[in-house]
Amino acid sequence: MVNGLSKKVDFIGPLYGKEKWKMYKRAWIVAVPSHSEVVGMVNLEAAACCTPSITTHETGLKDWEEGGGILLHPNVVDLTVALNNAANWSYAERKSRGQNSFKLVKEKYSWEVIGRQWVSLYTNIQKMNVG
């Protein structure tokens, strides 16, 4: 792998249930270089465990960097740079990014926040159709 990342990066297959949540909590960072995933639930799940993630502009998470994550275009060069940068964070920076990711998800992507937005949207649509 490029620049010695093979000593710092593990590529794992799918995980489910308790194993998935354990891995999120143990991970330094989660990399999800999606070409087309809408929102990217894996990013939200990782952030819920205070683990920052690397994701792409294609996930629609335009504010992701505000929360300590990394946004990039899905290509090898950008991903390699992002992985190298994350691998060299200090523990304090990693912890801060994880906490900021959690805060962003809680404030903007939690069920409580998104649920209210959906109710408001459907209520307004219903009013438009009735009137």
Give the pLDDT confidence score for residue 114 in this predicted structure. Answer: 79
Higher pLDDT, 13 or 108: 108
Residue 54 host element (H or E): strand 53-56
Give the pLDDT confidence score for residue 27 in this predicted structure. Answer: 95
pTM of the model as a whole: 0.81
**Structural domain count of the chain:** 1
pLDDT in tens, 30-60: 998 988 877 778 999 999 999 999 999 998 8
Higher pLDDT, 63 or 120: 63
Asked whether 37 and 53 are in contact (CB, 8 A), the reply is no
pLDDT in tens, 1-10: 556 666 767 7
Give the pLDDT confidence score for residue 3 in this predicted structure. Answer: 60
- Domain CATH code at residue 111: 3.40.50.2000
pLDDT in tens, 94-116: 999 999 999 999 999 888 877 88
Q: Return all residues near 10 (Cβ < 8 A) that are at least 6 apart.
A: none
Name which of 4-8, 12-16, 26-30, 120-124 the model is least confident about: 4-8
Residue 37: domain span? 2-130
Rounded to 10°, the helix 91-104/41-48 angle is 120
